Copies of this chain bind each other. A is one copy, B any other.
Amino acid sequence: MSQSQSKPPTPARRSEATRTAILDAARERFAADGYERATIRAIAKDANIDPSMVMRYYGNKEGLFAAAVAIDLKLPDPASFQRDEVGRALVTHFLAMWEENEVLTALLRVGATNQAGAERMRGIFGEQLLPLARRVCPDPEQAPARAALASSQLLGLALTRYVLRFPPAVALAREEVVAWLAPTVQRYLTAPHPA
């Protein structure tokens, strides 16, 4: 890559580049190894910097994790699709999110064994999926339960496909996953309560 379009490498910008390199490496390690086995030393080595820089920038390991897994699910606006298409829209969107980077895998792996990770997961799904559920489900009072049910299926697929790597779950084509899961998520969010 030419530098012709880049800003000049002032110390401030160099620091910026170092920071993002650290976060990229941290996401990879947390996603691959979980919180405990993702060491600051290994992350620094991946980012080609000194371990002490990680501490300087993020204070401690928890601070690094918090910065590395900040994420916006970028859920589609319910106004952008028909109400009976919310299941398909959500499953499609989540598959793309899981495969475009490693933040969600890191969150899931860490959330399974780390209190702070689980809390972060609760926050993200509570604050970002719940509002959408409130707008599409029949009774707003049921929105939390319906959002949790939809989460259980979406996260369950991610667990078997990207973390545990069940061979048949990995082998499914994206369209097949959508075809199977969309009706489930649709029902959890919009169908009448099953007695």
Q: Give A residues with C-beta under 8 Å from B.
A: 33-37, 108-109, 111-114, 118, 121-122, 125-126, 144-145, 147-149, 151-157, 159-161, 163-169, 171-172, 176, 179-181, 183-184, 187-188, 194-195
Contact = CB atoms under 8 A, between A and B. Distances in A.
A168 B153 contact: no
A159 B167 contact: no
Given A109-B112, A179-B195, A184-B184, A168 B148 contact: yes
A181 to B, nearest CB: 8
B153 A166 contact: no
B37 A113 contact: yes
- One complex includes copies of this chain to the number of 2
A108 to B, nearest CB: 7
Contact of A180 (B126, B157, B176, B188): B188
A172 B145 contact: yes
Contact of A194 (B152, B165, B180): B180
A69 B99 CA distance: 31
Contact of A144 (B155, B167, B179, B184): B167
A180 B147 CA distance: 12
Nearest to A34: B113
Contact of A118 (B156, B163, B172, B183): B163
A107 to B, nearest CB: 10
B164 A159 contact: no
